[in-house]
A and B are shown apart, each in its own frame.
Chain A
Amino acid sequence: MECQECKQNPATLHFAQVTNGEKREIHVCHQCAKEKGYVTHDDESYSLHNLLSGLFNFDPEKLHHSTHNKPAGNQMECKKCGMTYQEFAQIGKFGCASCYQTFSGHLNPIFRRVHSGNTTHDGKVPKRVGKDISARRKVKELKWKLQQLIAEEAFEDAAKIRDQIKEMERTLNQREEGED
């Protein structure tokens, strides 16, 4: 069987690709596989592909364009732990907390697929690290409540809430300035 890309070399890699629920058989030679991003570096493992077409369900073509067409220095690699995006896609695990920032542009489709369409956290916030986060959430809630009270023409209660919001925002701003 000849390679479906270059139509010259014999195809040495065979696998199925699932895109948007449609299965397509791929038969390519080693060289084209590398060029097209079906395998990464010299690693001939197909697991990248399995993951991308299975759990991650995204088009390897895109990976190819978004990484290989850019200058080499621009390749997505976590500065903290050294994990590249290809490695992440291959093993399906992050290397460290900073990987989340590094790969952030590519994560939403993956998270959506794994977590029923969700991409942002809604839940517990750590006490120390997340002190400001909790306060900001509280302010958001209060602002919403303020709108309600105004709509209900409960102006006295609304004024109290408004003062509370002001106070909280003041402390939040102070803390932020203190950090810089």
Chain B
Amino acid sequence: MGLEQFINEAISPWLKEDGPDSDIVMSSRIRLARNFEKSPFPLIANQEHLDGILYFLEKEFNHRSYANYEQLEFVRMADLKPTEKQVLVEKHLISPHLADKSTYGAALISKNEQVSIMINEEDHIRMQLYFPGFQLEKALEEAFQIDDWLEEKIDYAFDEERGYLTSCPTNVGTGLRASVMMHLPALAMTRKLNRMIPAINQLGLVVRGIYGEGSEALGNIFQISNQVTLGRSEQDIIEDLTSVVEKLIEQERHARTLLRQQSELELEDRIFRSYGILEHSRIIESKETAKCLSDVRLGIDLGYIHHISKSILNELMVLTQPAFLQQYARRMLTPHERDVFRASLIRERFTLEQREEL
């Protein structure tokens, strides 16, 4: 398979579109946790219960469409190979928990990959809806519609006092986790983000890196999400998150301007060095890849680099992850082989850009 075709199939269709403020906000996500009223939660449910849920949801929703979300496909975890599951994890369509721990897990995924409904994860149902750029309100509105559509067939576990009942006390109430994925290179470079995090936490919001492990944020990509789910309406939660994201966008833009004013040559040097590494290296680790991709994307946003498409950051952050590399290679790779393969995939991807230009 050629690289172009591979990328076309690997990158979720919605991710190729540009959304509002997409120079800084890569995507917006709404996740709602729901459970069946009558069945024990997946953690302690027996095979019979979980099979029953799988059978019911497959019967009711497999190959159905709702609005723009066409052809939901029912995928059982038990039917997938480990790499296939890992690819879904790397595309953020399913959680690592569903891939590794949920023997009776499944997912209903729409054709455009904007909607993914995880089944028998920690809760019976966890639906996720993605939008490109900064579109939390729209995402919430549409997630509510999908929720209503599911509810026509499902008796949800709901209590007037506690709201939607979930397996973990941290999700009860709205069951809502709203999050926004942001590229914040200037705030990270100038260490301003670290100083802003405590204030953001005060509002019940969490900031974390989404690529990489622990506290490190590979590619200067951060996820901001709500923690409180009880006692606040979904709209209020989104409003709080929105106001913080707006502030971060403003601060990031400001930090970019300052960087350019105060150390333009150093900034330009950093961007073009990273560009050179991506275009020419023969062996590259994921950490260095992420750093260089972040620099190049910043270079594109600031107008230093003209002939590369913006989507290169989103695309290559996804494609250079281990399972994708192995899928492209069509075999298992050792960590060293991955670094070699990664470098060659990136070089090829940059060549594609130059061809498009001609």
Where the two chains meet, the residues of A that have a C-beta atom closer than 8 Å to any C-beta of B are: 80-81, 83, 91-97, 100-101, 107, 110-111, 114-130, 133
Closest to A97 in B: B157
Docked Cα-Cα span, A115 to B163, in Å, equals: 13
Checking A83, A91, A122, A133 against B232 with a beta-carbon cut-off of 8 angstroms, the contacting residue is: A122
Instruction: Chain A residues near B170: list those with CB within 8 A.
Output: 114
State which of B61-69, B86-94, B223-231, B329-337 sits at the interface with chain A.
B223-231
Chain A nearest Cβ from B168, distance in angstroms: 5
Contact between chains at B41 and A96 (CB < 8 Å): yes
Chain B nearest Cβ from A43, distance in angstroms: 16
Contact between chains at B44 and A118 (CB < 8 Å): no
Docked Cα-Cα span, A111 to B164, in Å, equals: 14
Specify the main secondary structure of chain A where it touches its partner: loop
Contact between chains at A95 and B174 (CB < 8 Å): no
Instruction: Chain A residues near B78: list those with CB within 8 A.
Output: none
Contact between chains at A100 and B231 (CB < 8 Å): no
Closest to A80 in B: B40
Contact between chains at B169 and A122 (CB < 8 Å): no
With contacts A93-B168, A115-B173 known, is A81 near B234, CB below 8 A? Answer: no
Contact between chains at A95 and B40 (CB < 8 Å): yes
- Some 15 contacts from A to B, beta carbons below 8 A apart, are A81-B44, A93-B167, A93-B169, A94-B165, A95-B40, A95-B43, A100-B159, A100-B162, A114-B170, A114-B230, A116-B228, A123-B163, A123-B173, A126-B151, A126-B156
Docked Cα-Cα span, A120 to B158, in Å, equals: 12
Contact between chains at B163 and A129 (CB < 8 Å): no
Checking A81, A115, A122 against B233 with a beta-carbon cut-off of 8 angstroms, the contacting residue is: A122
Chain B nearest Cβ from A160, distance in angstroms: 27
Instruction: Chain B residues near A114: list those with CB within 8 A.
Output: 169-170, 228, 230
Contact between chains at B160 and A133 (CB < 8 Å): yes
Cβ contacts B72-114/A at 8 Å (1 or 0 each): 0000000000000000000000000000000000000000000
With contacts A115-B230, A121-B174, A133-B160 known, is A127 near B148, CB below 8 A? Answer: yes
Contact between chains at A118 and B228 (CB < 8 Å): yes
With contacts A93-B168, A94-B41, A121-B173 known, is A111 near B158, CB below 8 A? Answer: no
With contacts A97-B157, A126-B158, A129-B156 known, is A120 near B231, CB below 8 A? Answer: yes
Contact between chains at B35 and A111 (CB < 8 Å): no
Docked Cα-Cα span, A149 to B138, in Å, equals: 34
Contact between chains at A127 and B151 (CB < 8 Å): yes
Contact between chains at A93 and B230 (CB < 8 Å): no
Docked Cα-Cα span, A128 to B155, in Å, equals: 8
Asked if B37 is an interface residue, CB under 8 A from chain A, the answer is: yes
